[in-house]
Amino acid sequence: MKLGPALLLLGLAGLAGAGALLYTPDLDRAGLEAKYSSSPADFQQMAGLRLHLRDTGPRDAPAVILLHGFGASLHSWDGWAVVLSSHFRVIRFDLPGFGLTGPDPTGDYSDARSFQVLNAVMDRLGIAHATLIGNSLGGRIAWGFAAAYPQRVDKLVLVSPDGFASPGFAYGRKPDVPFLVRLLPFTLPRPLVRMNLAPAFGDPAALTEESLTRYRDLMLAPGVRRAMLARMEQVMLEPPEPELRRIRAPTLLVWGEADAMIPLRNAQDYLGAIPASRLVTFPGLGHLPQEEAPDRSLAPVLAFLES
């Protein structure tokens, strides 16, 4: 998901104006791990992190690595992972600064650090090369890694990927994070989370109470909100076309036609820059097709992976 500072600013400003800006403490880590991890084996030490990671499917099958978006977690891929694990070795993990992985002790949330972590995951698990599937922020990490380490990427699936400049994120400079957004570590009312998540769905009714609770709970994991703020502060976009042109992996772009976070028109920028790329779109779906309609959105992805 792409939880932008503009939406956070709007929500926090409204709450402040209404006099309802309430302090929200972090939740207990042990309780969150009991609720949102499948076993103690989900946690592995690598790249200086205690990484929350799941590794499912046949160990001798081709590997697929799933990278979630901003503010999300490995659970974003639940609907796809079950099916993919019947055909592939599926690895997904909470990116540093999110979910049960939590803050990166280095304090570095750059794309280069993400590449370091991804390389460490592959090395530790004995995966020489894999298909990368990334959504939003995870899409930007996926295509950046494919450009930097082409020998490690077989195929690339980009689900509403981030990377081109947008309001608040200009090329060549870090964004100005407004004061009210800096209140995120101190408050996170449930209506504010709903306000930010609902536009990620073509049909806001597809945002279930269970999903809303999970997103909010994991944002309230110790240190995660400060890490989210740090990542916002460290964003430094450069024109992506030179890197995109270096990608040699066959690439499938996946986009919900009702995406209100990263509009469908951005797909043409990627198609024009990535040499071996094609696009599949889904009428009525938003920024999180893997959550909103997992079976429907996975079908062309599975065909692409098996081709």
User: Per-residue pLDDT tens for 240-284?
Assistant: 999 999 999 999 999 999 999 999 999 999 999 999 999 999 999
> What residues make up the domain containing 200?
5-306
| Nearest C-alpha neighbor of 152 from the set 129, 121, 176 | 129
CB contact at 8 A, 158 and 251: yes
pTM of the predicted protein model = 0.92
Based on the structure, what is the number of domains in the chain? 1
Q: Is the dihedral angle over the CA atoms 291, 296, 297, 299 positive or is it negative?
A: positive
Per-residue pLDDT tens over the stretch 115-139? 999 999 999 999 999 999 999 999 9
For 146-166, what is the mean pLDDT? 96
State mean pLDDT over 271-298. Answer: 98
Q: Do residues 129 and 153 touch, judged by C-beta distance below 8 A?
A: yes
| Residue 18 pLDDT grade (very low, low, confident, very high; cuts 50, 70, 90) | very low
> In this structure, what token pair is assigned to residue 45?
């030490």
With 90 as the cut, is the pLDDT of residue 157 above it?
A: yes
Determine the pLDDT at residue 170. Answer: 79
Whether pLDDT at 77 is above 50: yes
Distance, CA of 218 to CA of 202 (rounded, Å): 23
Tokens matching residue 289: 């097709």
The rounded distance, in Å, linking the Cα atoms of 99 and 2 is 15
pLDDT category at 1 given cuts 50, 70, 90 is very low
Instruction: Determine which helix (DSSP H) or strand (DSSP E) holds 109, and give its type and residue range.
Output: none
Provide, rounded to the nearest whole percent, the portion of the chain with pLDDT above 90: 85
Q: Is the pLDDT of residue 151 over 50?
A: yes
Res 14: pLDDT: 54
Contact between 67 and 135 (Cβ < 8 Å): yes
Residue 38 reports pLDDT greater than 70: yes
Across the range 92-97, mean pLDDT stands at 98
Is the per-residue pLDDT at 19 higher than 50? Answer: no
Q: pLDDT band at 142, cuts 50/70/90?
A: very high
For 17-51, give one letter per residue: b (16+ CB within 10 A) or e. eeeebeebebbeeeebeeebbeeeebebebbebeb
What pLDDT shows up at residue 121?
98
Q: How far, in Å, CA of 61 to CA of 88, rounded? A: 5
Instruction: Give the CATH number of the domain where residue 299 resides.
Output: 3.40.50.1820
Region 94-116 average pLDDT: 97
Residue 55, classed as helix, strand or coil, is: strand
Token pair of 218, please? 């994991």
Q: How confident is the model at residue 7 (pLDDT cuts 50, 70, 90)?
A: low
